[in-house]
């Protein structure tokens, strides 16, 4: 068994305390400790992060020099939030976003994380984008990334679930979450979209395709575009009728 801890006491005292604790639980003896010199693990991680191409975008952290070559550059520093472009589900959502978004759209980003999809929306021409997330650590990261991309006047954040979003009538909703959460919240998502509006669903596996298409169909929504990468799948659906269908 291996355990890691940040400690300030001398190594012999640490070994004695760990051994004493293990012995009380009958776990035997033979504790070996190794002291690792301090390293800036965050800096080392940052040095490995590379720009990622996704649709018409290049997603890159602020500390990396990038020649976008005509692509739309998204500066996203992740911290503890999801959405750096390094996961296929984010890349698929960005790809479909570029296909579906129309100039002047009002966009809702469900489970916004870093805010990458909300930020990408306004960079594509959305009039505004509203992101929401239940994670209390997200807001600061969302706000920083919005300012980093110069779109803070066109994006906003709601701390909570979709039930905490007062606005409705969105032209486009993008939700990069997971299958179970999407299935549970899709009726609420549909109610936030105007008739004729679109919903992008990502965070799904190719094995989820049938159930998501069937669910959308039962709710009176049409799947009109799809994208996949490896085992990951995403789709865009259109709201064709009123909310009494689900």
User: Where does residue 152 rank: exposed (0-12), middle (13-18), buried (19+ CB within 10 A)?
Assistant: middle
- Tokens representing 73 are 């550059």
| Stretch 112-116: mean pLDDT | 94
DSSP 168: -
**Distance between CA 73 and CA 60 in Å, rounded?**
7
**Distance between CA 110 and CA 191 in Å, rounded?**
13
pLDDT band at 80 (very low <50, low <70, confident <90, very high): low
Whose tokens are 């390094």? That residue is: 86
pLDDT tens profile 35-79: 777 665 556 556 667 899 999 999 999 988 888 889 999 999 877
Which distant-in-sequence residues (6+ apart) come within 8 Å of 198 by Cβ? 100, 171, 172, 173, 236, 237, 238, 239
3-class DSSP state for residue 42?
helix
- Tokens representing 208 are 């989820």
pLDDT band at 30 (very low <50, low <70, confident <90, very high): low
Residue-averaged pLDDT of the chain: 89
Which distant-in-sequence residues (6+ apart) come within 8 Å of 77 by Cβ? 61, 62, 63, 114, 141, 144, 145, 148
pLDDT at 245 (0 to 100):
45
Positions of E strands within 33-192: 52-54, 57-60, 72-75, 106-110, 128-133, 155-159, 170-176
pLDDT tens profile 187-228: 999 999 999 999 999 999 999 999 999 999 999 999 989 999
| Stretch 11-31: mean pLDDT | 74
pLDDT at 9 (0 to 100):
62
pLDDT at 246 (0 to 100):
46
Lowest mean pLDDT among 38-47, 93-102, 104-113, 230-239: 38-47
User: When comparing pLDDT for 175 and 68, which is higher?
Assistant: 175
């Amino acid at each position: 068994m291996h355990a890691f801890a940040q400690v300030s006491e001398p190594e012999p005292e640490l070994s004695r305390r760990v051994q004493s604790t293990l012995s009380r639980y009958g776990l035997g003896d033979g504790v070996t400790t190794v002291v690792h010199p301090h390293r800036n693990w965050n800096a080392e991680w940052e040095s490995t992060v590379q720009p990622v191409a996704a649709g018409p975008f290049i997603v890159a952290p602020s500390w990396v020099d990038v020649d976008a070559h005509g692509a739309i550059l998204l500066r996203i520093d992740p911290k503890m939030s999801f959405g750096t472009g390094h996961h296929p589900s984010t890349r698929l959502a960005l790809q479909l976003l570029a296909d579906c978004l129309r100039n002047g759209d009002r966009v809702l980003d469900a489970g916004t994380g870093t805010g990458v999809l909300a930020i990408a929306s306004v960079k594509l021409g959305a009039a505004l984008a509203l992101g929401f997330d239940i994670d209390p650590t997200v807001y600061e990261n969302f706000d920083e990334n919005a300012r980093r991309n110069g779109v803070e006047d066109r994006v906003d954040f709601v701390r909570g679930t979709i039930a905490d979003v007062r606005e409705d009538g969105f032209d486009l909703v993008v939700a990069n979450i997971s299958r179970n959460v999407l299935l549970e919240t899709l009726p609420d998502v549909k109610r936030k979209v105007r008739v004729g509006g679109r919903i992008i669903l990502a965070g799904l596996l190719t094995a989820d395709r049938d159930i998501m298409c069937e669910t959308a169909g039962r709710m009176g929504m049409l799947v009109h575009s799809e994208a996949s990468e490896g085992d990951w799948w995403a789709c865009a659906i259109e709201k064709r009728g009123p909310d009494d269908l689900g």
